Amino acid sequence: MRDIRWDTLTYLNLSHNYLTNIKQLPWKNLDILDLDSNKLNGSLPILPPSLTVLLLSSNKLIGEIPHLICNLNSIQILDLSNNSFNGNIPICMGNFRNLHVLDLRKNKLSGTIPGSFAKGSPLRTFNFNDNEIEGPIPRSLVNCMKLQVLDIGNNKVIDTFPYWLQSLPKLQVLILHSNKFYGSVHGFCSETKHCFPKLKVFDISNNKIGGPLPVWYFKNLRAMKDVSEHERKLQYMGENYYQDSLVVTLKGCEIELKKVISIFTTIDFSSNDFDGVIPEVIGQLHALYLLNLSHNNLSGCIPSSFGNLMTLESLNLSFNRLSGEIPIQLISRTFLSLLNLSHNQLQGSIPRGNQFDTFQNDSYIGNPGLCGPPLLKKCTNDESHSLIPSTFQDEDNDSNWLDWEISLMGYGCGLVLGISMGYIVFTTRKPQWFVWMVERAEAMVLKRLNRRYWGRRN
């Protein structure tokens, strides 16, 4: 009888417990094994080769990833994240023919990324964030035509910008931040040759990339220009048994989004060596939530087209050489909750009205030519801008709900962090009033998106 049970068990979930040691699993036909969030220590246990899903994240496993893992010929989801594995990554991890998800983030892995991905690979998520991986990025990744998430941030990769990734038709998340990438962002896009057509998260911050900002890429980021009818429904990136997560930087703090809503978009080119002017074409990215171009050598004026960024919640242009006045068109962006224009060469009066009345002086310090509240320097000749012009008023008459809804949540970043906080509440199941508030906020966000993009009055 015991042998029959061992042969018939296919699904085992022991996650979120206090298990400390599992040396061997006796079930020969085990298909799905979930041991997430335990206290497992020591080396990786001996695993049945029948596994298709292996979830071992958030434990205390150490040592090298054993080459016996190459026996998992049917593996589809392999999550070993948030442990203390070290040493090189087994080369066979680039040879799994059925692998959809490979998540090795938050370990101490070194060496290079396996470079043997074959044509027709079903790989969807490739996450090596926060290790000690060295470069370059293997070009065989272009064979992974179903790849949606590529995250190798916080490593030691030395390489030029991998422009050849632009041909991946389904790539939505590209995170290369905090490595040693150098050179310029070069490539070529046209009306017939689209680049990064599905890209929604574009993070190459904290590298040594220079030259002008890539206008040709901004023109082709179609997924940041509009939200499809399918995506307007609240859904998260991922698949069965696994959902993608990522880290965003707001006000100098890294915040992990445990779940990523499908409409989330961000561009983070901060802490590089970009120079020249900010392209007006960025103003066409109507679905952009977060934009960070800080700590570069950008010059010229802030584009007035930024007033067209309808969903923009965070704008950071600090520590550049920008000049001219703050565009009054930004007043119309009532979703804008975080603004940092400090340490530039801006001048003139600070606009007043809507969200601009909530920003503190740290949004503007280091610009000797700026005047008016909240700065102590007064403007002469009554140059202060008045409230939002009448041409902008009709567009956002129903936006005030966002301010008080999110202030109750204790956040100033609207939809993104509101829903992330909602996820934490739902998983802990308390407090109930907070759950009700998050549910209401999410419903109102979706209703507002419907009005914006499809003109429907629900």
Does residue 275 contact residue 251 with C-beta atoms inside 8 Å? no
- Residue 423 reports pLDDT greater than 80: no
Other residues' Cβ atoms within 10 Å of the Cβ of residue 60: 13
Q: Enter the pTM of the model.
A: 0.83
Domains and CATH numbers, the chain: 1-156 (3.80.10.10), 164-398 (3.80.10.10), 399-454 (no CATH)
Could you read off the pLDDT of 425-439 as tens digits, one per residue? 333 334 443 444 444
Could you read off the pLDDT of 112-131 as tens digits, one per residue? 998 888 888 999 999 999 99
d(CA 165, CA 117): 14
Among residues 61, 79, 53, the alpha carbon closest in space to that of 22 is found at 61
Percent of the chain with pLDDT over 90: 60
* Mean pLDDT for the stretch of residues 176-193: 81
In the prediction, which pLDDT does 8 show?
82
Other residues' Cβ atoms within 10 Å of the Cβ of residue 282: 22
- Residue 210 reports pLDDT greater than 90: yes
78: three-class secondary structure by DSSP: strand
- Token pair, residue 168, equals 């991946």
- pLDDT-derived band at 173 (thresholds 50, 70, 90) equals very high
* Mean pLDDT for the stretch of residues 274-284: 96
Q: Is 458 exposed, middle or buried (0-12, 13-18, 19+ CB in 10 A)?
A: exposed
d(CA 292, CA 271): 9
Among residues 188, 182, 179, the alpha carbon closest in space to that of 211 is found at 182
Please give the C-alpha separations between residue 361 and each of 144, 302, 322, in angstroms, as whole numbers: 47, 19, 18
Q: Which of 76-85, 150-159, 245-254, 277-286 has the lowest mean pLDDT?
A: 245-254
Neighbouring residues of 161: CB distance < 8 A, sequence distance ≥ 6: 176, 181, 183, 184, 185, 186, 204, 209
Mean pLDDT (the chain, rounded): 82
- Residue 456 reports pLDDT greater than 50: no
3-state helix/strand/coil string of 375-441: CCCCCCCCCCCCCCCHHHHHHHCCCHHHHHHHHHHCCCCCHHHHHHHHHHHHHHCCCHHHHHHHHHH
- pLDDT-derived band at 283 (thresholds 50, 70, 90) equals very high
The size of the chain, in residues, is: 458
Beta bridge partners of 250: 253
